[in-house]
């Protein structure tokens, strides 16, 4: 079970670099709960493309600056 999904991400690093945004704050900003942010950071599942886009938009970077293929 629990096979980790094949896309790495920089969410935690971006949160920290962009002035210590909290999981809760990021979640509120992009419209998901903090548990969802935590699950994404831990690569527990593949978020929707829409959520991924919203996170990238929040940090004002491209999607591929947040998520990258990593099989």
Partner DNA sequence: CTAACATGTTAAAAATATTTGACATGAGTG
Partner DNA sequence: CACTCATGTCAAATATTTTTAACATGTTAG
User: Which residues in this chain contact DNA in the complex, by CB under 7 A?
Assistant: 5, 15, 22-24, 27, 31-36, 38-42, 45-48, 50-51
Cα within 13 Å of Cα(39), Cβ side: 15
- The answer to whether 64 and 9 are in contact (CB under 8 A) is no
The site partner of 63 among DNA, a copy of itself, none (C-beta below 5 to 8 Å per kind) is a copy of itself
Residue 51 gets which letter from DSSP? H
Of 5, 17, 35, 42, the residue at the interface with a copy of itself (CB under 8 A) is 5
Written as six digits, the tokens of 56 are 């990238």
To the nearest whole angstrom, how small is the minimum distance from the Cβ of residue 20 to a copy of itself? 25
């Amino acid at each position: 079970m629990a096979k980790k999904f094949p896309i790495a991400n920089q969410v935690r690093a971006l949160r920290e670099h962009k002035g210590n945004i909290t999981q809760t704050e990021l979640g509120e900003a992009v419209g998901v709960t903090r548990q969802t942010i935590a699950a994404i950071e831990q690569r527990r599942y593949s978020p929707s493309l829409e959520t991924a886009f919203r996170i990238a938009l929040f940090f004002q970077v491209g999607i591929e600056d947040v998520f990258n293929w990593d099989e």
